[in-house]
Structure 1
Amino acid sequence: MVRVGLYGDYRRRQESDSLLPVKRLDWGYGLEVVGRSGLQTQLQLPEAYLKVRWGPVELYAGRKRGIVGIVDTLLTSGSYSWSGNAMPLPKIQLGTMGYVPLGFTHGFVAINALYNHGWFANSFVKGSYLHQKALYIRLGKETSRVRIYFGGNHEAQWGGYAPSLVGIPGLSDNSDGRFASDLKAYFRVITASYGTGYVPTQGVISIDQGNRIGNGIGSFDGGIDINLGTSNLLLYRQNLYETGALFYLTNIIDGLQGIRLQRKPGKGPVTIDRILLEFLSTWSQGGSEFVIEDPKRRGRNNYFNHSQYQDGWTYLNRTIGTPFLTPQTEVNPALPASRAIANNRVSLWHLGVSGRIAQQLQWQSRISYSMNEGTYDIPYPVGTGQLSVLMKLSGPIQFPGLGRCHISTSVGWDRGKLLSNSVGGYLGLRKSLDNISRGRPLQKY
Structure 2
Amino acid sequence: MVVVGVALCLLVLAFTSSVDAAFINISRHRLNTLLAEGQSRARVVSRLMNDPYRFKATIILLNVGATIAATAFTLYLAGPGGVWWQLGGLVLLLVAILVLSEALPKALVLRNPDATALRLARPISMLTALLWPLIWLLDHTVAPFTRMISGKNGTDTPLVTEEELRTLMNVGEEEGLIEHEEREMIEGIFSFGDTLAREVMVPRVNIVSLDADDTLDTALALVIDRGHSRIPVYRETIDQVVGLLYAKDLLAALRDGVRDIALERLVRPAYYVPETMKVDALLRDLQARKVHMAIIVDEYGGTAGLVTIEDLIEEIVGEIQDEYDTEERLVQTVADGELLVDALVPIADLNELTGIEISSDESDRIGGFVYERLGRVPTVGDVVELHGISIEVLSVQGLRPRQLRIRYQPQLALEISSAGEEAEKPNDEPT
Q: TM-score, normalised by structure 1?
A: 0.19
Larger radius of gyration: 2
- When you count strand as a share of all residues, which structure comes out higher? 1
Q: TM-score, normalised by structure 2?
A: 0.19
